[in-house]
Amino acid sequence: MTEPSSGEPIEAVLAQLRAEESVEQDASQRALLRHEAGVLEESRGRSDEAMADYLAAHDADREFRQPLLAIIRLLWGKQAAGEAADDLGELLERAIDLADTAGGTASALWELAIHRAHVGEDRAAALAYLEQAVEQNPDDVAAWLELELLAAREGATDLRLRALEARASLTNDPSWQGLLLTELALLCAGAGDTARAASLLDTVAGLEGRARFRSRLALESVARAAGDDELLAHAVEGQAELITLALDDPDDAGSWGVGRAGVPRR
């Protein structure tokens, strides 16, 4: 349907939609008509009227996803404004059931996790929903980020490691990837896996990004904490190599992260 551009045409179209809906016998068609009316009401800022239409559309056809998603969107807006958003959790669960793609399921699971964590304060359930979300769509960066943040709050180290690793694999920015892998390495070291930490940090050193020098500093920290003199020497040698390169080519030093570490330039 073409959206009218002024108030008068909208009123005319709304009147037509409501007249058609009042005599329509087919439930799915009634749902479609009420949904279109809701879209028009929302387009002119009448959110309460739009909500009423979306709810009527949802009641008429429980398998019709669009009005359900519109209701959820409006309830999120109410919640953000500090208003009550009753039944949002239940509606999000319904959205999961109606999702017809893996991406749609993942998105609904992510939203439900946000609701459970920040409104219901059920972080265990939120973590479970986020795990399901990334299983449905392993490329969902937002779900992995939320999983990492919530896992950190809950002290779920294994989940946090998994999320960081996934986030690092999903970015094409070598600097950002290096920072994520460095954080992952430090977590591994904190969990006692020095070998994996060292391997990850060496991977960062091989990336063309600003995290290279930081990875050598992190490796030094890991080596000192582990009391590993051989690893410490490897870290210091890596720092010296990058500093030498930076002194020879100051213009490129920042691209390796050397300048940011305070290394003097000629």
- 117 and 202 in a common domain: no
Say yes or no: 188 and 258 in one domain. yes
> Do 130 and 198 lie in a common domain?
no
Q: Is the pLDDT of residue 253 over 60?
A: no
Q: Are residues 80 and 121 in the same domain?
A: no
How many structural domains are present in the chain? Answer: 3
pLDDT digits (tens, 9 = 90+) for 32-65: 999 999 999 999 899 999 999 999 999 999 999 9
Q: How far is CA 104 from CA 50, 99, 108, 137, 233, in A?
A: 23, 5, 6, 9, 50
Distance separating alpha carbons of residues 19 and 173, to the nearest angstrom: 55
Alpha-carbon Rg for the chain, nearest whole angstrom, is: 27
Question: Are residues 72 and 103 both part of a single domain?
Answer: no
What mean pLDDT comes out for the span 207-225?
Answer: 95
pTM value? Answer: 0.77
Boundary-marking domain end, from 149, 167, 185: 167
Say yes or no: 179 and 157 in one domain: no
Q: In the prediction, which pLDDT does 70 show? A: 95
pLDDT higher than threshold 70 for residue 1: no
Residue 82 pLDDT:
84
Containing structural domain, residue 231 = 171-266
Do residues 204 and 182 make contact, with C-beta atoms less than 8 angstroms apart?
Answer: yes
The answer to whether residue 266 scores a pLDDT higher than 90 is no
Whether the pLDDT of residue 249 is over 90: the answer is no
Residues 188 and 214 both lie in one domain? yes
Domain limit, last residue, from 33, 55, 86: 86
181 and 199 both lie in a single domain: yes
Across 9-23, 80-94, 128-142, the highest mean pLDDT is recorded for 128-142
- What pLDDT, on the 0 to 100 scale, is given for residue 241? 92
Mean pLDDT score of the chain, rounded to an integer? 89
- Which position has the token pair 């399901």? 132
Own/partner contacts of 156-159, CB < 8 Å, gap of 24 or more, are 156/127, 157/187, 157/191, 159/127, 159/131
Confidence of residue 214 (pLDDT cuts 50, 70, 90): very high
Same domain flag for 146 and 191: no
Question: Which of the two residues, 101 and 254, has the higher pLDDT score?
Answer: 101
Average pLDDT over residues 239-250: 84
Residues 107 and 73 in one domain: no
**CATH number of the domain to which 111 belongs:** 1.25.40.10
Q: What percent of the chain has pLDDT over 70?
A: 90
Domain boundary among 135, 167, 199: 167
Place of tokens 């892998």: 181
More confident residue, 227 or 10: 227
Clarify whether residues 131 and 79 are in a common domain: no
pLDDT of residue 28: 94
Whether residue 155 sits in one domain with residue 95 = yes
Per-residue model confidence (pLDDT) at position 261: 46
Share of the chain above pLDDT 90, in %: 76
